[in-house]
Amino acid sequence: MASYLIRRVIGAVPLVWGVCTLVFFVVHLAPGDPTAIYWNPDTDPQVIREMQHNLGLDRPLPEQYVRWLGRFLTGDFGHSFARNRPVSEVLAEALPNTLILSSVSLVILFTLGILAGTASAVRPRSLLDHAITLVSFFFYSMPAFWFALMLLLVFHYRLEWFPADQMHALDFEYDALPFLGRMADRVRHIVLPATALGLGATAGVARYTRASLLDVIRMDYIRTARAKGLPESRVIFRHALRNALIPVVTLVGLYLPFLFSGAVLVETIFGWPGMGRVIVTAIFQRDYPLVMANAFLMAVLVIAANLAADLAYSFVDPRIRHGGEER
């Protein structure tokens, strides 16, 4: 297992380097100037030129790239142009919030997807199967930003069940709550963004689960279990579903990039203080160090998620060894 992990980590290095290099040249070649946020009619052009010189923006682009890469390899993410803070501090505040939102969305996505897929497979081509397929594809076909806006319109403005933004109530209200009250307040704030991010993708998990479970149900050992008189619920949930979930495990690694990219829109709409909101603000402000550090972390998270999905195979299916061999 150690050699397998080392090979995967070494193989990921050029991939992360390629992603960061591509993002570097794209953001630097895009129109705009990071010093524009300091412009006003009374600003002396000489001051702007001195700021560009101090930030290294007046140097040739290849030289800027080499300087950035040298600092980056030493773990120096630089200083945010717009926030006037070290980039590492900004990311340390935003990353946990994005991980919390993505984790809750992932739980919603796979819990509902597996339940819907199982219900469809147990009664294939029934009215329940058609209804689940129709509903799941209805949510799947909706753009995430439109679905998020509809959730806000219905559950915040019309019904007033959930708050519209932030992770918790205002500081003075939140600090006055007891522990359970704080937990309930955080749950109320995460329901809408997590639902907007996770619910739309349940159709994919449901269809994978349905197809895989239908294949397993037709196998001889399932017929044997039924012939022995085992309850149907035990046959499905104990004998069939575990084997049917093996291909679904791969979806964890595939859906995490979707959740991270979807978080950019959802966090912006719901004012969630995560990496998605940070990177949108950084792109509009041409905050190059913050954009680059965000791109690096996103690439590392996606690669780590795919590696975790591969490792999960061995726990779900004991026949599979790390490194591609099978027993």
pLDDT tens, position by position, 174-208: 778 888 888 888 898 999 999 988 888 888 888 88
Q: Which residues contact 59 (CB under 8 A, 6 or more apart)?
A: 67
**Rounded CA gap, 96 and 119, in Å?**
34
Residue 159 is encoded by which pair of tokens? 């019904």
Q: Report residue 264's pLDDT band, with 50, 70 and 90 as the boundaries.
A: confident
Sorting pLDDT into bands at 50, 70 and 90, what band is 313? low
Q: Can you give the pTM of this predicted structure?
A: 0.81
Which residues in 220-242 are b (16+ Cβ under 10 Å) and which e? eebeebeeeeeeeeebbeebbbe
Largest Cα–Cα distance of the chain, in whole Å? 87
Average pLDDT, the chain: 85
**Distance in angstroms (rounded) separating the CA atoms of residues 5 and 212:** 28
List Cβ neighbours of 133 (8 Å cut-off, separation of 6 or more).
120, 206, 207
Q: What are phi and psi of 79, to 5 degrees?
A: -120, 130
102-111, 133-142, 148-157, 302-311: which has the minimum mean pLDDT? 302-311
pLDDT band at 317 (very low <50, low <70, confident <90, very high): low
Using CA atoms, how far apart are residues 196 and 191, in angstroms rounded to an integer? Answer: 9
- Residue 86 β-bridge partners: 79
The identity of residue 146, as a single letter, is W
CB 270 within 8 A of CB 101: no
Distance CA 214, CA 72 (A): 50
85 neighbors 79 (Cβ within 8 angstroms): yes
**Residues facing residue 320 across a β-bridge:** 326
Position 223: which residue type?
A: R
Sequence-ordered alpha helix ranges (H) in the chain: 2-29, 45-54, 61-73, 87-122, 127-141, 144-151, 171-175, 179-198, 202-217, 220-227, 232-234, 241-244, 246-270, 275-284, 288-316
Task: State which amino acid sits at residue 191.
Answer: V
- Enumerate residues 6+ apart whose C-beta is below 8 A from 166: 189, 271, 272, 273
The least confident of 8-12, 131-135, 275-279, 316-320 is 316-320
Is pLDDT of 260 > 70? yes
| For residue 172, pLDDT beyond 80 | no
Give the whole-angstrom CA distance, residue 166 versus residue 172: 14
pLDDT band per the 50, 70, 90 thresholds, residue 327: very low
